[in-house]
């Protein structure tokens, strides 16, 4: 038996987001974001045609949900403010109903000793701004900084952990390369511009936060997906993996933590003729406004080989530089198709310790999506998700090892708390510690993993 004990004051929690959990209600004053718009245009793209208005009703379940957070051992919880709820037109007037809702949520969390971690952008561009180009348009940065400042002013007396973005590479990939986010364009050049504007927006929001003199920390949440070369001794594979790491990880990690873009990424993007437009003074802003705290989302590794086959697009793409390697015998989550490689979390934390000044960080997402969990319901109506307990504990062992070796990891947040709406996949894969019965008025029931997590949190670790 090994006792995996975690440091004092370790954050045990989970993560969610406004657009994936709140839902929409008559007179709630929320404006449309790109998900509301896309669902109106193409509802058939969404799994079982379930759209963003039907998410898990967090808006009307504050007390019940916070009680469930407590019952599942949370001492911290991350969600996001929806830009289009707070400022329905993207810029300008603030929606008083939204202020009331977020105040109630934050106060209820604090009354239960659960620290709110609040993120500002989780894939949810207000439609008015998207129509002007969204993140492709430099003016969106000003609107975002005004929105961020409003959040700091309204809630910054109680919220002490802020994040500028969740997974900013995902709107780049989804919206401008691979078609799974609005506006589902395919343009390497636009993709790079979008990523650059998100990054500059992050640095400017950090500057705005610090200018207000609030006491708290501000950071960014990145999905750091370690890139492993097919063959470590094959320079072409290694080079391809380095590109993937540069484009998908270091494009935000380096400017956010070190204040500078990586030289190899700049060279690669220049060779593809897709460098973004920028102003020289931007680079100074990025340099001077690095993060206090890094959130790391980890789900799966990326396996890479040098390109051997032509890719399926006729236009320039990041894939010109690499190809995905389908590694034989990898461990797969059969319900989601993603590889499970627990050591990836340790490799990422080690990289942060060795190459990024061991900046304070925490695991901001990690989790396992499973389809049709009703298969695992017992007579008492509880889902026996032993696979999730195994998934979380196997990852926690590697987090523990990283801490033992000196990594500055402050907490672990699982994705997610209550099963929530996952974009085009809607409710296909369930991730929560708590199940949601959509047919039964959103009834919530703690899963076996939720009861397990409470014990882990109470003991500040586990034995195995
Ligand atoms: C992450 C994302 C979340 C959630 C999760 C599970 O990439 O941050 O919003 O959807 O994946 O699919």
pLDDT, tens digit, 9 for 90 and up, residues 143-155: 999 999 999 999 9
Which residue, among 377, 352, 374, has the nearest Cα to 363 in the 3D structure? 352
Dihedral angle sign, alpha carbons of residues 455, 456, 457, 461: positive
Long-range contacts (CB closer than 8 Å, 24 or more residues apart) made by 187-191: 187/315, 188/272, 188/274, 188/315, 188/316, 188/317, 188/318, 189/273, 189/274, 189/316, 190/136, 191/274, 191/318
User: What's the confidence (pLDDT) of residue 127?
Assistant: 98
Tens digits of per-residue pLDDT, 190-228?
999 999 999 999 999 999 999 999 999 999 999 999 999
pLDDT at 316: 95
State the average pLDDT over residues 417-423.
98
Distance (Å, whole) CA 389 – CA 385 = 7
Measured from the Cα of 20, ligand 1's closest atom is 9
Tokens representing residue 127 in the block = 């439609």
Q: Give me the percent of the chain exceeding a pLDDT of 70.
A: 100
Which atom number of ligand 1 is nearest to the Cα of residue 423? 10
- Residue 168 φ then ψ, to 5°: -60, -15
Structure tokens at 122: 């989780």
Phi, psi angles (nearest 5°) of residue 218: -130, 140
Q: Ligand 1 pocket by C-beta < 6 Å: which residues?
A: 17, 20, 166-167, 223, 297, 365, 369, 415, 422, 431
What integer best gives the mean pLDDT of the chain? 97
* Catalytic residue set: 365
Pocket test for ligand 1, best of 119, 365, 418 (most atoms within 8 A of CB): 365
Instruction: Give 375's pLDDT tier (boundaries 50, 70, 90).
Output: very high
- Which residue in 406, 407, 414, 371 sits closest to 69, CA to CA? 414
pLDDT at 167: 98
In three-state secondary structure terms, 383 is strand
**Residue having the nearest C-alpha atom to atom 10 of ligand 1:** 422
What average pLDDT score do residues 132-140 get?
A: 98
Q: Is pLDDT above 90 for 271?
A: yes
Span 245-255, pLDDT tens digits: 999 999 999 99
What's the full length of the chain, in residues? Answer: 464
Kind and range of the H or E element at 244? helix 235-245
Per-domain boundaries in the chain? 3-463
pLDDT of residue 309: 85
CA of 364 to the centre of ligand 1 (A): 11
Query: Token match 């998934």: residue?
Result: 391
pLDDT on residue 311: 81
In angstroms, the CA 132 to CA 140 distance is: 8
Q: Which of 457, 456, 435 is nearest to 446 (CA)?
A: 435
- Ligand 1 centroid – CA 79 distance (Å): 12
* Angle subtended at Cα 159 by Cα 87 and Cα 161, rounded to the nearest 5 degrees: 105
Encode pLDDT of 46-78 as tens digits: 999 999 998 999 999 999 999 999 999 999 999
310 pLDDT exceeds 90?
A: no
Fold of 3-463: TIM Barrel (3.20.20)
Rounded to two decimals, the pTM is 0.98
Per-residue pLDDT at 434 exceeds 80: yes
What is the separation, in whole angstroms, between the first and last Cα of the chain? Answer: 5
The preferred substitution site among 22, 225, 363, 415 for testing ligand 1, maximizing ligand atoms within 8 Å of CB, is 415
Tell the residue number behind the tokens 């599942």, with chain if given.
Answer: 72
What pLDDT sits at residue 336? Answer: 74
**67 in Cβ contact with 108 (< 8 Å):** no
Q: Residue 447 in contact with residue 431, Cβ under 8 Å? A: no
| pLDDT per residue as tens digits for the range 152-176 | 999 999 999 999 999 999 999 999 9
Other C-beta atoms within 10 Å of 463: how many? 9
Angle between helix axes 139-155 and 188-211 (nearest 10 degrees) is 30
Q: How many CB atoms lie within 10 A of CB 375?
A: 9
Q: Which residue has the CA at smallest separation from atom 3 of ligand 1?
A: 422
Helical (H) or strand (E) element with 223: strand 217-223
Peptide linkage before 183 cis (omega within 30 of 0): yes
């Amino acid at each position: 038996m090994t006792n995996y004990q975690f440091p004092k004051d370790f954050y045990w929690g989970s993560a969610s987001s406004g657009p994936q959990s709140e839902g929409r209600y008559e007179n709630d004053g929320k404006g449309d974001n790109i998900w509301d718009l896309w669902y109106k245009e193409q509802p058939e793209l969404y799994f079982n045609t379930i759209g963003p208005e039907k998410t898990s009703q967090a808006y009307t379940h504050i007390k019940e949900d916070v009680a469930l957070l407590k019952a599942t051992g949370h001492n911290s919880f991350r969600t996001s403010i929806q830009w289009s709820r707070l400022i329905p037109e993207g810029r300008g007037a603030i929606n008083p109903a939204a202020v009331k809702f977020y105040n109630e949520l934050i106060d209820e969390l604090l009354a239960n000793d659960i620290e709110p971690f609040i993120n500002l952008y989780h894939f949810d561009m207000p439609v008015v701004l998207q129509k002007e180009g969204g993140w492709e348009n430099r003016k969106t940065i000003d609107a975002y900084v005004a929105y961020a400042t409003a959040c700091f002013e309204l809630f910054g007396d109680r919220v002490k952990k802020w994040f500028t973005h969740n997974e900013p590479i995902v709107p780049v990939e989804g919206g401008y390369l691979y078609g799974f986010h609005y506006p589902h364009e395919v343009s390497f050049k636009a993709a790079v511009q979008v990523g650059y504007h998100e990054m500059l927006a992050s640095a400017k929001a950090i500057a705005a936060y610090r200018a207000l003199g609030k006491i708290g920390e501000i950071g960014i949440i990145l999905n750091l997906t370690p890139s492993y070369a097919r063959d470590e001794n094959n320079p072409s594979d290694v080079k391809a993996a380095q590109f993937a790491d540069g484009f998908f990880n270091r494009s935000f990690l380096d400017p956010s933590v070190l204040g500078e873009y990586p030289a190899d990424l700049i060279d690669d993007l220049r060779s593809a003729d897709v460098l973004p437009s920028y102003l020289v003074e931007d680079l100074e802003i990025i340099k001077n406004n690095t993060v206090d705290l890094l959130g790391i989302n980890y789900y799966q590794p990326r396996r890479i080989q040098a390109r051997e086959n032509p890719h399926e697009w006729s236009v320039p793409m990041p894939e010109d530089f690499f190809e995905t390697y389908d590694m034989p015998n990898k461990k797969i989550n059969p319900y989601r198709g993603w590889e499970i490689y627990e050591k990836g979390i340790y490799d990422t934390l080690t990289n942060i310790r060795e190459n990024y000044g061991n900046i304070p960080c925490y695991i901001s997402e990690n989790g396992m999506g499973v389809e049709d969990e009703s298969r695992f319901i017992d007579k008492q109506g509880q889902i026996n998700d032993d696979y999730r307990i195994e998934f979380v504990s196997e990852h926690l062992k590697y987090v523990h090892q990283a801490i033992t070796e000196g990594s500055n990891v402050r907490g672990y947040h699982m994705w997610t708390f209550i099963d929530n709406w996952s974009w085009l996949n809607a409710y296909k894969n369930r991730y929560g510690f708590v199940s949601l019965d959509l047919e039964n008025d959103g009834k919530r029931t703690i899963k076996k993993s939720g009861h397990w997590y409470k014990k882990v949190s109470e003991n500040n670790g586990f034995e195995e």
